[in-house]
Chains A and B, each alone.
Chain A
Amino acid sequence: EDQVTQSPEALRLQEGESSSLNCSYTVSGLRGLFWYRQDPGKGPEFLFTLYSAGEEKEKERLKATLTKKESFLHITAPKPEDSATYLCAVHPRGSNTGKLIFGQGTTLQVKP
């Protein structure tokens, strides 16, 4: 069964303290892996798409990487405004329908 597991569930950082969020997946082939940010009371906001192992993408303080079994979202020198829940989702290769399988998310809190 296709599955996505994110860790840790919650992460507290001091401003400037870099860290990484993990997304492990078990799918029958990967068509794409997506990272989203969700603020309280809002819908998920798209961050990155990764398609193949070894691929990396960056946006401001965020960098997403992909291996054959997991993806990492690295946060460098985070600021309080980076506090949010970060969601990972995969699109299995066997599906042509756009069905995404989401992890449960990592809630990040950055303290000033």
Chain B
Amino acid sequence: DTAVSQTPKYLVTQMGNDKSIKCEQNLGHDTMYWYKQDSKKFLKIMFSYNNKELIINETVPNRFSPKSPDKAHLNLHINSLELGDSAVYFCASSPWGSGESEQYFGPGTRLTVT
């Protein structure tokens, strides 16, 4: 029944490691997003894919690389993790990418880099 799911929910790792977060949506939406929420709860968009095509790529270090194998999945791979990458990462989806439709969020992945 879960509309947007993410794995893992918690991720604790050391600096310098490489990690991935997976996201899947079963809503049939065309557009998926990755957001980062910092300790002050400020949500900021990182990437957006529409039908497997990258449409938003904010100023994010190139250590972050999204991959969309199909329109129901959007994964986030992070290389050479740094302390500042610690945050909660949310995946979201919407029916289309024009911005007039609401976005549905996953439960989040709390990443802690030590």
Contact = CB atoms under 8 A, between A and B. Distances in A.
Interface of A: 31-32, 34, 36, 38, 41-46, 49, 51, 85, 87, 89, 91, 95-100, 102, 104-105, 107
Contacts of B94: 98
Contacts of B33: 98
Interface residues of B, number: 30
B107 A34 contact: no
B108 A98 contact: no
A43 B45 contact: no
Interface of B: 4, 31, 33, 40-45, 48, 50, 55-56, 58, 90, 92, 94, 96-108
Contacts, number: 75
Contacts of B100: 31-32, 49, 51, 91
A91 B99 contact: yes
A44 B44 contact: no
B42 A104 contact: yes
Contacts of A102: 42-44
B107 to A, nearest CB: 5
A99 B45 CA distance: 7
